[in-house]
């Protein structure tokens, strides 16, 4: 290099002895604020484009994202359930969606679909996405995880059924009328109306345990606070798992040497999701 303007490399393969490549784009302004998508591939991590069977289905693109994309500059708009606006930083959105672990990077499959008029914000996997309400400019990006049908255990269901809840303690509240209200472990289910689970005030090392009934493949967790009269929520937590309920293994993520600390909620209203990469295979989760 350098390769400038419309001049391309003489050979289809660009060889460099540097670990960094700078790409500079010059363009005029546009009222839509549209950006561009950039993908790269190496001999170790090839990227490719795919089109699924069927004439009218949107194309899929498979790209490789390097490690460390969580802290790069740039914004993301959207969430894992809706998808992301096409001006979002692609690999940063993949970390937010829980498709790849930031410390490892990995292959991401994208589908491009018609844009929507409202992209809701979300806090997931340590990243805040932004809310977009200005219009439906640009297509929608859906980062998708690799298929999990090869796993020997049920792996792809959206929500696992919990057979039983247990906890180190729970709060027995006595209101002004002398009535007792138990913030018991079974009230920790995300869909429970009213008050939630809360540990005994002043207790240290509190834990909540989920018995899944049988060994399952757990790919992530969603937490939410309790806004029922009190503004309660958990700001951070660790996760342990067990196959027999006796021997517990702390979750350390992708090759980590220390127990992983997950970022929790910042208020009692919103939901926060965190992905387990690699997944947890266990019956009991704390």
Indicate the range of 105-119, 127-141, 176-190, 244-258 predicted with least confidence: 127-141
Question: What average pLDDT score do residues 136-165 get?
Answer: 57
Closest CA to 163 of 212, 92, 199, 93: 212
Show Cβ contacts of residue 133 under 8 Å, excluding neighbours closer than 6 positions: 117, 118, 119
Residue 174 has pLDDT above 50, yes or no: yes
For residue 231, pLDDT over 50 is answered with: yes
pTM of model > 0.85: no
What integer pLDDT is reported at residue 82 of this predicted model? 86
Whole-number pLDDT of residue 22: 76
Q: What is the pLDDT of residues 68-92, one digit of tens each?
A: 888 888 899 999 888 898 888 889 9
**Averaged over 39-66, what is the pLDDT?**
60
Mean of all residue pLDDT scores within the chain: 80
Name which of 38-47, 152-161, 179-188 the model is least confident about.
Answer: 152-161
Q: Is the pLDDT of residue 276 over 90?
A: yes
Cα 128 from chain centre: 11
Q: How confident is the model over 16-43, as pLDDT tens digits?
A: 777 777 777 766 665 555 555 565 666 6
E strand or H helix at 249, and its extent? strand 249-250
Question: Is the separation of the CB atoms in 93 and 112 below 8 Å?
Answer: no
Sorted by where each starts, the structural domains of the chain and their CATH numbers stand as: 48-144 (2.170.130.20), 164-285 (2.60.120.260)
What is the average per-residue pLDDT within 1-23?
65
Flag whether pLDDT at 12 surpasses 90: no
Q: Percentage of residues in the chain with pLDDT exceeding 70?
A: 73
Looking at residue 30, its pLDDT comes to: 58
Using a 10 angstrom Cβ sphere, with 0-12 exposed, 13-18 middle and 19 or more buried, the burial of residue 277 is buried
Query: Residue 245: what pLDDT?
Result: 93
Nearest-angstrom CA–CA distance, 65 and 39: 9
pLDDT of residue 143: 65
Q: Is 92 helix (H, G, I), strand (E, B) or coil?
A: helix
pLDDT of residue 115: 79
Q: Is the pLDDT of residue 4 over 70?
A: no
Structure token digits, residue 150: 């090869």
Say what the pLDDT of residue 62 is: 83
φ/ψ (deg, to 5) at 96: -60, -40
């Amino acid at each position: 290099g350098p390769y400038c303007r419309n001049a391309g490399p003489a050979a289809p393969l660009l060889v460099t002895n540097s670990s960094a490549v700078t790409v500079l784009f010059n363009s005029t302004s546009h009222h839509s604020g549209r950006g561009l998508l950039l993908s790269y591939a190496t001999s170790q991590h090839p990227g490719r484009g795919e089109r699924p069977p069927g004439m009218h289905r949107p194309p899929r693109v498979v790209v490789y994202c390097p490690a460390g994309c969580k802290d790069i500059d740039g914004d993301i708009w959207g969430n894992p359930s809706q998808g992301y606006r096409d001006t979002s930083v692609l690999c940063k959105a993949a970390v937010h969606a829980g498709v790849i672990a930031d410390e490892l990077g990995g292959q991401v499959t994208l589908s491009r679909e018609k844009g929507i008029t409202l992209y809701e914000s979300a806090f997931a996997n340590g990243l805040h996405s932004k809310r977009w309400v200005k219009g439906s400019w640009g297509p929608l990006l859906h980062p998708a995880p690799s298929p999990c049908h090869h796993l020997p255990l049920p792996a792809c269901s959206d929500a696992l059924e919990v057979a039983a809840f247990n906890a180190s303690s729970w709060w027995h509240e006595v209101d002004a009328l002398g009535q007792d209200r138990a913030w018991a472990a079974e009230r920790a289910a995300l869909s429970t109306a009213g008050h939630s689970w809360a540990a005994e005030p002043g207790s240290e090392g509190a834990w909540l345990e989920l018995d899944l009934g049988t060994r399952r493949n757990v790919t992530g967790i969603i937490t939410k606070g309790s806004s029922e009269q009190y503004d309660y929520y958990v700001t951070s937590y660790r996760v342990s798992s067990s196959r027999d309920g006796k021997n517990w293994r702390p979750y350390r993520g992708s090759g980590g040497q220390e127990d992983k600390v997950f970022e929790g909620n910042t208020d009692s209203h919103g939901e926060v999701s965190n992905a387990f990469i690699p997944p947890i295979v266990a019956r009991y989760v704390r």
